[in-house]
Amino acid sequence: MTATRRNSPPGRFLEAEPVELTLTAQGAPEELTIRAQNVTWTAHPADKWVHLSASTGDGDAVITVSATPNPEQTERRSTLQITGDAVDPVEIRILQRASQPGPSPEPEPVVMARVEGYWAGDYWETGGRLDDLYLVMTDRSILNGKPQGAGSILSLDLNIPAATFATFDIAGSYAPSTALPPTQAHTFNADEVTYVATYDAANNRTAQRYATTGAVEIKGERPLYRIDVSLTLDDGTAFLATYEGSIPFFDDTNPVLSTLTGDCRPDLTAATGTFLIHTDHAGSSLPLLLELTGSHEQRAEHLQLLLNVTPDAQQTGRIEGTYRLTETPSPSDYPAGTALPGTLASTGDELVFDGCWYLCYNTAREEQLSDMAPLQQGQITVSRTEEVYTIDYALTDDNASQPHSVAGRYIGAVTFTNLDEPGPEPGDVTTGGQLAPWKPGGHW
């Protein structure tokens, strides 16, 4: 289409085509043809972002119209007016396309401060072809073996060639795998077990996203490695991480939680008793948490005994008798005269030592847990002379191949609490133990 004005004197005219120009978002030039007879013309852009290769001339001409790149994600419009003496002006409409959103900038890699490895052997039961290895990484600060403050924890679930704990190698390039059990070495399981958890400054977990795809590159050999991680998470965001340094590895196939290396005779000097309730049944007993403690130089010992006592003991304090650890306690029946074996659970980011446990803390290292033993077998005998209790205990830990005993006697008072009303359930009793000072099984 041609823009022209015919209301002109004989022998003079001015016209241009096309009547509308469409420019790209980058403003690439487009041609505009001007036809003029006996007219000196001038072109006047309405906006500064419109540019001309020539703005005046005599007679016919072909000029280019371009534009400054459009910074907005919406179209913009303008006009170009061409004028001449004794002729009507010609107006050209100009449209410039919207800019397209570019790819989001790739995030900077998170520089991890610490990495720990947990070898789980043939966890997925692949017939001895693959072993499972967790790499747990964090950029958060570490206090007493536990991450603190704002930052993230990355858990990578890697499938490596089968080997032994002493000989396995992790170097290689890892691609995502969605098959369970996994079928290929040098893959990572792209599901909930490979995840990124983020925390705020108050140690609250604010989000947890699992990996859907990505790549992991590991170079080096024990103990020094270089790790580069690029993941896409289930919300579509990218997560990059890098680490360079040593990695401690722990054998996570060992079910033994006890860290005792020999028999133990605690030196305990104080005792408290807290009556609790079993929330999962209304049996013929009440749980009593006996906590015996003693501090000596740089060691603080703690013996936790969870006994099932007769219901009247909550009002009378009469807890005399013999309590045997039950091998398989049933929630539906905790008979009086039994004790619950030690178990370990996690509520959120806190450990819960439930049942009967021996715990020893290094007080010179801010109450860091130095020894622990879940007590699985044995018996506790309680006797009393007026207000003086004698508590004899002969118990063994969970190391079936090389059991260690925790045995001794406490003589003294027991300070009871919750004598008038039920207290919390046993699972709410925590001891403040840290995750990392004992291994294996100490995932953050």
Same domain, residue pair 246 and 120: yes
Tell whether the model's pLDDT for residue 328 goes beyond 80.
no
Pair 134, 226 in one domain: yes
Task: List the single range of 134-138, 304-308, 333-337, 434-438 with lowest mean pLDDT.
Answer: 434-438
Are residue 284 and residue 419 in the same domain, yes or no? yes
Distance CA 221, CA 381 (A): 53
**Domain shared by 420 and 303, yes or no:** yes
pLDDT at 311 over 50: yes
- At 86 the pLDDT is 85
Q: Supply the pTM of this predicted model.
A: 0.49
- Strand 270-275 and strand 415-417: the pairing is parallel
User: Is the confidence at residue 411, as pLDDT, over 60?
Assistant: yes
Q: Give me the DSSP letters along 33-71.
A: EEEEES-EEEEEESSTTEEES-SEEES-EEEEEEEPPP-
User: Is 126 found in the same domain as 216?
Assistant: yes
- Residue 357 reports pLDDT greater than 90: yes
Instruction: Classify residue 289: in a domain, yes or no.
Output: yes
At residue 423, the pLDDT reads 40
Average pLDDT, the chain: 85
In a domain, residue 257? The reply is no
> Which residues, other chains included, contact 282 with Cβ-Cβ below 8 Å and sequence gap of 6+?
none
What is the DSSP secondary-structure string of 371-428?
A: EEEE--EEEEEEEEETTEEEEEEEEE-S-SSS--EEEEEEEE--EEE-SSS----GGG
State yes or no: pLDDT of 441 exceeds 60: no
pLDDT at 41: 93
Domain-terminating residue out of 63, 96, 129: 96
Q: Tell me: the pLDDT tens digits for 103-142? A: 666 678 999 999 988 888 998 899 999 999 999 999 998 7
Domain around 157: 110-251
pLDDT at 212 over 70: yes
Instruction: Tell me how far apart the alpha carbons of residues 379 and 392 are, in angstroms, rounded to a whole number.
Output: 8
Q: Does some domain include residue 101? A: no
Handedness of CA 243, 244, 245, 251 (dihedral sign): positive
Q: Do residues 82 and 49 lie in contact, with contact meaning Cβ atoms separated by under 8 Å? A: no
Do 173 and 233 fall within a single domain?
yes
Q: Would you say residue 263 lies in a domain?
A: no
pLDDT tens per residue across span 227-286: 999 999 999 899 999 999 999 888 777 778 888 989 999 999 999 998 887 655 556 788
